[in-house]
Structure 1
């Protein structure tokens, strides 16, 4: 069993309303993220993602940053962080993030028409964050080369209408525990 699967099986579960949320170093920064787990994940992303002629990696703050930074360092592809703070800089694009447990506004800079981007995220659950990102990328005329989420929580409304999202592992929460549905993910 790889480190990612093992770490997910050991993840504690909390409830936010009707939403069962697993607490994991990749998605929450708790417990601490071991370098060997991050390294395993980055290698899997690089092997799975379509990186051909990708100009930029795009990721949402905050929990996509550590993963995307490591991928950027390994591939020399520049990183764009979509953040929750508005700066009002030229070319800033606003987008809505609607998840199973929150709604917020996010902001993107430095992506232009014709840019070929790889979108990276920590977890695909409701699809709200990735839908907001892909809509904003479409608005500026960027080409989404690929989308990779490390973990997919099955059972949610996580289908992306116009995009196939590759995942490294698919899980569900059953009886207060994380259950591995597909150890190799999608794509």
Structure 2
């Protein structure tokens, strides 16, 4: 169990049962571990809801908003926000939010991307947890932090479902990373 996971070993093992690996995706040399099959059954949906509720309790009183990163952060961000009774703010890929937006381009392990946010979606000083599904090299979370800081937000923590430790993405990040599964 990762020391930054709020799960016990049994809960982590239950979640791991849903993870499927896809070699050579999205490009040769990459093995993509997919945790999203958890949504393919009512038992899995109940499990992820229970685990995200448990995580949300650790944030109570510490954050004002949940920031969800497109696309799979959109699956878990609203659940965490619902359990905390706080807003959920989208950070999207370029072209997926109407103007006005603030954008930031960045590099990731297999290409380049641009993310955007509507500037009035975060109030100056809002304390934020940034939610994504996967931490690899840290590029997306780092870019999101830069973007959120530009609009006045204060990142306090990152949450991901899975992390590939050998890629050392945490080393690029300024704030604590909480994850359910790390390899």
TM-score, normalised via structure 1 length: 0.76
> Is the alpha carbon distance of 1:23 and 1:94 closer, same or farther for their aligned partners in structure 2, counting shifts above 3 Å?
same
- For 1:81, the equivalent position in structure 2 comes to 90
The CA distance in 2 between the partners of 1:125 and 1:64, in whole Å, is 14
Deviation by residue 1:130-158 (Cα, 9 ceiling, x = unmatched): 01011111222211122111111121131
User: Given the superposition, is the C-alpha separation of residues 38 and 98 from structure 1 closer, same or farther in structure 2, using an over 3 Å criterion?
Assistant: farther
**Partner residue, 1:169:** 181
Give CA deviations for 1:31-85 in whole Å, capped at 9, x if unaligned: 8533433443343344334232422110111111011122222222111111112
3-state SS of 1:66 partner: helix
Determine if the alignment matches structure 1 residue 129 to structure 2 residue 140.
yes
Which has more helix, going by share of residues? 2
Q: Which runs of 4+ in 1 moved over 6 A?
A: none
Seen in structure 2, the aligned counterparts of structure 1 residues 97 and 44 have a Cα distance that, compared at 3 Å, is farther
Pick closer, same or farther for the CA change 1:88–1:125 going to 2, 3 Å: same
1: CA distance between counterparts of 2:38 and 2:178?
A: 25
Contact persistence 1:19–1:100 (CA under 8 A): no
Contact 2:23 2:29 in 1 (8 A): no
| Cα root mean square deviation, aligned | 2.2
- Report 1:96-107 matches (<5 A): 96-107=105-116
Assess, with a 3 A threshold, how the Cα gap between structure 1 residues 32 and 50 changes in structure 2: closer, same or farther. Answer: closer
TM-score (structure 2 length as normaliser)? 0.78
SS in 2 for 1:155: helix
Equivalent residues of 1:50, 1:145 under 8 A apart: no
Structure 1 segments unaligned to the other structure (5+ residues): 172-187
Give the match for residue 24 of structure 1: 35
